[in-house]
Amino acid sequence: MAGGVTALTAHPTYAVFERYMVLYKRLWRASVFSSFALPLLFLASIGLGVGQYVGSLEGVPYAAWIVPGVLASTAFQMAVGESTYGVLGSFKWTRSSHAMYATRVSIGDMLRGWLLYLVVRGVIAVAVFMAVVVWFGVLASPWALATPLVAALLTVATAAPVTAFAASIDHDSYFALLFRFVMIPATLFSGVFFPVEQMGGWKVAAYVSPLWHGVALCRAATLGQEPPWPVWAHAGVLVAVAAAGWWWASAAFRRRLRD
């Protein structure tokens, strides 16, 4: 593109990312605190409670088995939570997305800046979580260092389609459907709390859930085991879901902003 734009500094994608970070810099304490408190609560409840009954699973102590699941679901829940009311509101109530689009920022920049911000959030949440649980001896393998990477991929694979959904609907009552029929079932049946093999034939339902692939990769990393599918297959599904979500979100943003 020609024009005087090139001489200026901030890339529009980065400018969008920065807008979210301005807000995060004000709110990060609360957010880091909850990433910090959550694993402690979990470990207390499982270590003292459930774990006593379950003992070990697939040859590892239940606490060590469940930690990577909770880790992945932290990123998953953050991505879903952030991508609902805020996204719809920026089109429908505050129209701040319209304001952003009236500048040099393109729809691609808006999506990239937004997802980049969520990746940073997801990685911070997971890193804080790991910094806590590492002291409980539940991270068995140095591959655990790869979990933030998995969290980043899972964040994008979750946030992209949920953002697209939020940008497509006209009323926030649809979020209740999303929470009840997508997010809660996904959290319960994606191998976070028990192996999907226990669901018999129903386990194929987990295969379409990005969370299951995220959990599988996180668990493989923290326990130093082989994942159920080859790593490239899990990662491939996450990339495919992210790409489909991206495509859908671009279309939804276009319809909203260019009408």
Q: For the chain, how are helix, strand and coil distributed in percent, rounded to 5?
A: 80, 0, 20
CB of 112 to other proteins, least distance (A): 13
Examine residue 101 and tell whether it contacts other proteins (CB under 8 A).
yes
Burial of 55 (0-12, 13-18, 19+ CB in 10 A): exposed
Examine residue 13 and tell whether it contacts other proteins (CB under 8 A).
no
Q: What is the radius of gyration, based on Cα positions, of the chain?
A: 19
Examine residue 94 and tell whether it contacts other proteins (CB under 8 A).
yes
Examine residue 255 and tell whether it contacts other proteins (CB under 8 A).
no
The number of residues making up the chain comes to 259
Q: In terms of Cα–Cα distance, which of 215, 67, 220 is closest to 143?
A: 220
Q: Restricting to residues 106-145, name those near other proteins by CB under 8 A.
A: 106, 109
Examine residue 100 and tell whether it contacts other proteins (CB under 8 A).
yes
Beta carbons of 194 and 72 less than 8 angstroms apart: no
Only segment of 99-107, 185-193, 194-202, 219-227 that touches other proteins (CB under 8 A): 99-107
Nearer to other proteins, 12 or 245 (CB): 12
Phi and psi torsions of 12, nearest 5°: -60, -35
Q: Report d(CA 36, CA 82) in Å as an integer.
A: 18
Residue 52 forms beta bridges with which residues? none
CB of 206 to other proteins, least distance (A): 36
Examine residue 10 and tell whether it contacts other proteins (CB under 8 A).
yes
C-alpha 18 chain-centroid distance: 19
Only segment of 9-17, 61-69, 195-203, 215-223 that touches other proteins (CB under 8 A): 9-17
Examine residue 30 and tell whether it contacts other proteins (CB under 8 A).
no
Q: Which position has the token pair 């805020």?
A: 86
Nearer to other proteins, 26 or 41 (CB): 26
* Interaction site with other proteins (CB under 8 A): 1-5, 8-12, 15-16, 18-19, 22-23, 94-96, 98-106, 109, 257-259
